């Protein structure tokens, strides 16, 4: 017994698969972009300083302080 949904591939998946076959450099560009913006080492001292400098927000931000 075969299940037709096992072999189904959406139009979007087909499009992405064909696009990556035509332009394989897209994957490398994605990796470079990710490394540029996301894959960075964090400085523990700077993270601590940022955490300590946060100002606590009041319960209802639009209420004036009484």
Q: What is the pLDDT of residues 33-64, one digit of tens each?
A: 998 888 888 899 999 999 999 988 888 878 77
Q: How far is 51 from 44, CA to CA, in rounded Å?
A: 10
Evaluate if residue 2 carries a pLDDT over 70.
no
Q: How far is 25 from 29, CA to CA, in rounded Å?
A: 6
pLDDT score at 55: 87
Q: What is the mean pLDDT of residues 19-35?
A: 94
Average pLDDT, the chain: 87
pLDDT score at 66: 59
Q: How far is 36 from 33, CA to CA, in rounded Å?
A: 5
Range of the domain at 19: 10-52
Is residue 38 domain-resident? yes
Is residue 1 domain-resident? no
Is residue 40 domain-resident? yes
End-to-end Cα separation, the chain, in angstroms: 73
pLDDT score at 6: 75
């Amino acid at each position: 017994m075969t299940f037709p949904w096992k072999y189904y591939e959406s139009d979007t998946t087909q499009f992405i698969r064909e696009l990556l076959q035509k332009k394989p450099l897209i994957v490398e560009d994605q990796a470079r972009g990710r490394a540029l913006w996301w894959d960075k080492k964090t400085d523990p001292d700077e993270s601590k300083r940022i955490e300590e400098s946060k100002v606590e927000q009041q319960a209802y931000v639009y209420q004036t302080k009484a």
